[in-house]
Chains A and B, each alone.
Chain A
Amino acid sequence: MGFKLPLKEMEDIAERDDAALDQLKKRLMGAAAVILVFFGIIVLRLWTLQINSGKEYAQRAYSNRVREREVAAPRGHILDRKGKEIVTNRPSFNVVLIKEDSTNLGDVLTRLSPVLKMDVSELWEKIRKSAGSPKYLPVRLKEDIDWKTLAYLENHNHEFSGIRTEVQPVRVYHYGNLAANTLGYLGIISKKELEKADQKIYKGSDLIGKAGLEKLRERDLRGEKGIYFSEVNARGFEQQLLKSVEPLPGREIHLTLDVELQQIAESYMEAGEKSGAVVAMEVNTGRLLTVVSSPSIRIEDFIGGISVKNWKALLENPKHPLINKVVQASYPPGSTYKMVTALAGLAKGVIDEDTVFYCPGHYRFGNRTYRCWKHSGHGPVNLKKAISQSCDVYFYQVGQRVGVDGLAEFARKLGLGKKTGVEMEHEKSGLVPTKEWKLRVKKKKWQEGETLSIAIGQGFDLVTPLQMCVMTATIANGGKVYRPQLVEKVVDPEGNIVENFKPEIVNELVGLDRFFKLIREGMEEVVQGKRGTARRVAIKNLRIGGKTGTAQVVKIAQYRHLKEANIPYRYRDHAWFTCFAPAEKPEIAVTVLVEHGLHGGSGAGPIARAVLKEYFYNRLHNKEVSEEQ
């Protein structure tokens, strides 16, 4: 080490100044004191953090790293009576933002925008809307992204802090709009619904049944949400699952509906662009096999919430697709009501099998003339002929003798004028008028002439297609009024049957078997008879009993003389057809209402025929084979 700088002070150093050195060393005591003081401060600080507030910080550390995440439960499936899946679920992947976990949100959104094919402003808007919600709750940026987008986001997750994908089950409709008005749809829970709902179960963005069975069976279908507790790092990436409560899927609902029958009925209604309803029911159980309301809602419009535009279009559609015409619309029953009059006449002893009235084509009552639909008249008419040819004059006279309250009594016994109790929303009770009713509601005395209109199903009478079907089934089974059933059983995820369908008799008409048989014979003639009004409904090898009906929409004389095709659509009469089969041992009742369909036989009959053909397909087919052999 030969290197040395010439520093002249160096020479002084050799002569040490012991006094100055001692003074300097005394100051070192001060330095040591400073060190000790700071040591004390630091230890005191550690004491407050670790001993005094240790528990509080431990709690904060826990909430720091543990995220509680709810996982939506797969909603219960809906199946038909044969176990065919009508509505199930599939996973939908949503892109969400956890505000708490995001850093550099602006950058992230700029990079996310092309990936999601959304404008940055659109993304900001979604975030702004969620301003009030807690920072750890996910804000949905985009729903149901495709696999490519999902894969990209998963692979590049480090570039998108705070952005996550979450899985959410969404409904899959295997048969499209099948029974859409009955099954209903889901939607995001509204503020109003949320206020009423159990806060422990529902949260802000949850889906909830908005209509139909999805709403009525919400409790069964919803299942229970799962909760995942996962450890996340500071950038919001999940490190590991700490514990989880797996979601409990909703219960399966097995319907009484038959998918194939339903499809046939719907396709026939759709093909003719018909507006109206079709109901098919098991005569001896009350199980509904088909419930069609046409036109139906388009279920795809409702997935993920319906747009205002679509909703408005639905509301303004003159054919009212939002109304479930099976129960929510009531119509004058027309001639189908004649069975009520017949039963009342028979039961009250006013007529019997052989009672004959003469029909000259009109009937004078008081100072008015009441016409028969056949102006030339039916001549002498007994009960069977009266039903099969729908003679108005015959039923005017029966009705007149029974009186309006007597008609009402039997109409009610057959299930008209009150709700059937089916599991459908907003069911109408229809209307069975009485003297008392008119006085109470219309504030007017009953006119005897009005009874004549009631007797043939015009005037104040109103029934729903479902009520008509229930009535038909009651006639077919000899007096048992069943509550129509839509749900056969409810099965929980473990396979246990939670609720099982049992036929439920609402009312039973005892001792009237003989009369029902007579009515059924008359109804058989409607289809099988040479002059029956529904001859075209007949199916080879199958005996059917039925009744047509025409419900007047307006009583405007000016249209009476026009050809049917020239009457404006909205003034045309509604067409009814209700029937049961096989006549000898009835199993199924089918009721069809076609709005503005003009005539029961031509407007509604073919649809009922198609449903029956499908229902009896195997049996008809085998019979034909056996005949050929």
Chain B
Amino acid sequence: MIKIDRRLFENFDIILMLFICLVCTMALFNLYSASYPPKAYGTPAYIRQSYFFLMGFGVFLFLISFDYQELHSWNYPFYVLIVALLIFVYFAGAKAGGAQRWINLGFFKLQPSEPAKLMLVITLASFYSRKEVVDGYSITQLVIPVLLTALPFLLILLQPDLGTALMLGIIFVSMTVFVKLRMSTYLTMGGLALVLGVFAWEKVLKPYQKQRIQTLFSPDNDPMGHGYQVLQSKIAIGSGGKFGKGYLEGTQGHLHFLPERHTDFAFAVWGEEWGFAGSLIFLGIYFMMLLWGIHVAMEAKDRFGVLLAYGVVMLIFWQAVINLLMILGFLPVVGIPLPLVSYGGSSLLTTMLGLGILMNVRMRRFQNLQPEP
């Protein structure tokens, strides 16, 4: 039942909303610079991204009007839909850059692997909150969540989209470790991960994917090849210095030295133009938003709420950390966007959905504690 009563508005989290709005505004400004000078044709990225922001806020408002408990029942249809889309993409998706990740909807190319991340958060939150185990989960009890994760994981790996697939793995690990596991489960899981990792390195990973990982350790040795992006991003950020080159004054981004500067490398543009001071402010706000999300989880009224809020925060957090460490030259270049900042409709809408869930949990933290009058 759609219930928007007065109390919901009273519990609307202005602080969370403020963080989201601040980050989104800075991201849009940055995107304008990253896609500057504008191309002669097509809609500029920052305009398109503005539409997605509006859509995102629409989705956000729509989502907070439900009680998040409804997600227990919405979860499986959602799961089936995403998996169906992933299968569809595998057979008939739009191709770009050697990968097949998109469904062309005409006005918008949907990348189902993006909502798949959120879908996994909800699925696992629902599963772990329903199956409460006092002395920790045994390995057999984890078979279902592992299978639930493995199906979309493999479908995404086939696209191929190593980065997103790994994100699903990270979400699984984050959420599973968060709930209580038995020691034997930890050991078995760890052993399995090791075996699977070696197997993957030998049999599954494509040479270019391996090279990306290897490049991590010596990006400077291959400046024209795979290390190029990382090197250029380090140059862009590093050359920003203390206070940056000024808005729209960054040369590395505008002269295309910085690859994918409006998508995965968007923060490098920020670092170049605003310097250390600006980066500190931006990251400060961004991480405050994440910490506030943890705060939301702490005050959630039930296990599902805690897991949902925690999962959403982890989803955003890991993507952000991997993206930042990647453009700072600490991690291999894998296609992980910086949520809310990188250009991309699917990622943005997914993140806004997640933040909607967070707000939802936040707004209903008192709901069942005080009986309705």
Interface residues of A (CB under 8 A from B): 1, 3-5, 7, 9-10, 12-13, 16-17, 20-21, 23-25, 27-28, 31-32, 35-36, 38-39, 41-43, 45-47, 49-51, 53-58, 60-62, 64-65, 103, 231-235, 239
| Residues of A with C-beta under 8 A to B291 | 32, 35-36
Segment with Cβ contacts to A, from B39-47, B210-218, B313-321: B313-321
What is the CB-to-nearest-CB distance from B96 to chain A, in angstroms, rounded to a whole number? 18
| Residues of A with C-beta under 8 A to B70 | 1
Interface residues of B (CB under 8 A from A): 1-2, 66, 70, 72-73, 76, 129-132, 134, 178-180, 224, 232, 234-242, 251-252, 255-259, 271, 275-276, 279-280, 283, 287, 290-291, 294, 297-298, 302-304, 306-307, 310, 313-314, 317, 321, 324-325, 328, 330
| Residues of B with C-beta under 8 A to A9 | 130-131
A50 touches B241 (CB 8 A): yes
A17 touches B276 (CB 8 A): no
- B306's partner among A12, A25, A36, A231 (CB-CB below 8 A) is A25
Q: How many Å lie between the Cα of A28 and that of B317 in the bound state? A: 14
B310 touches A233 (CB 8 A): no
What is the CB-to-nearest-CB distance from A35 to chain B, in angstroms, rounded to a whole number? 5
Q: How many Å lie between the Cα of A13 and that of B368 in the bound state? A: 12
B237 touches A64 (CB 8 A): no
Q: How many Å lie between the Cα of A49 and that of B255 in the bound state? A: 21
Instruction: List 5 other contacts, CB 8 Å, given A13-B302, A46-B280, A50-B276.
Output: A1-B1, A1-B2, A5-B76, A13-B304, A50-B275
Q: Given A24-B178, A28-B306, is A46 in contact with B276 using a C-beta cutoff of 8 Å?
A: yes
A16 touches B134 (CB 8 A): no
Q: How many Å lie between the Cα of A12 and that of B290 in the bound state? A: 30
Q: How many Å lie between the Cα of A4 and that of B77 in the bound state? A: 11
Beta-carbon nearest neighbor of B277 in chain A: A50
What is the CB-to-nearest-CB distance from A101 to chain B, in angstroms, rounded to a whole number? 10
Q: How many Å lie between the Cα of A439 and that of B66 in the bound state? A: 124
B287 touches A13 (CB 8 A): no
B303 touches A20 (CB 8 A): yes
Q: How many Å lie between the Cα of A235 and that of B298 in the bound state? A: 50
- A50's partner among B73, B271, B321, B330 (CB-CB below 8 A) is B271
B76 touches A31 (CB 8 A): no
Q: Given A27-B178, A234-B255, is A13 in contact with B239 using a C-beta cutoff of 8 Å?
A: no
Interface centre among B134, B251, B314 (most CB of A within 10 A): B251
B234 touches A28 (CB 8 A): no
A43 touches B283 (CB 8 A): yes
| Residues of A with C-beta under 8 A to B310 | 28, 31
- A17's partner among B132, B236, B256, B275 (CB-CB below 8 A) is B132
Q: Given A56-B238, A57-B235, A235-B256, is A42 in contact with B251 using a C-beta cutoff of 8 Å?
A: no
The 7 closest A-B pairs by CB, nearest first: A57-B238, A61-B239, A9-B130, A54-B241, A50-B276, A49-B238, A233-B255
| Residues of A with C-beta under 8 A to B294 | 28, 31-32, 35
| Residues of A with C-beta under 8 A to B307 | 24
Interface centre among A20, A36, A57, A61 (most CB of B within 10 A): A61
Beta-carbon nearest neighbor of B328 in chain A: A45
Instruction: Write 8 A-B pairs (CB below 8 A) sorted by A numbering.
Output: A1-B66, A20-B303, A21-B306, A39-B283, A41-B325, A56-B238, A57-B234, A61-B251
Q: How many Å lie between the Cα of A23 and that of B306 in the bound state? A: 11
A51 touches B276 (CB 8 A): yes
Q: How many Å lie between the Cα of A10 and that of B131 in the bound state? A: 9
| Residues of B with C-beta under 8 A to A53 | 238
| Residues of B with C-beta under 8 A to A47 | 276
Q: Given A13-B130, A38-B321, is A50 in contact with B255 using a C-beta cutoff of 8 Å?
A: no
Q: Given A9-B131, A58-B241, is A42 in contact with B256 using a C-beta cutoff of 8 Å?
A: no
B73 touches A4 (CB 8 A): yes
| Residues of B with C-beta under 8 A to A234 | 232, 255-259
A65 touches B129 (CB 8 A): no
Q: How many Å lie between the Cα of A51 and that of B279 in the bound state? A: 12
Q: How many Å lie between the Cα of A581 and that of B72 in the bound state? A: 120
Interface centre among B242, B259, B297 (most CB of A within 10 A): B297
A39 touches B304 (CB 8 A): no
What is the CB-to-nearest-CB distance from A186 to chain B, in angstroms, rounded to a whole number? 36
Q: How many Å lie between the Cα of A31 and that of B321 in the bound state? A: 14
A21 touches B303 (CB 8 A): yes
Q: How many Å lie between the Cα of A180 and that of B72 in the bound state? A: 95
Beta-carbon nearest neighbor of A99 in chain B: B224
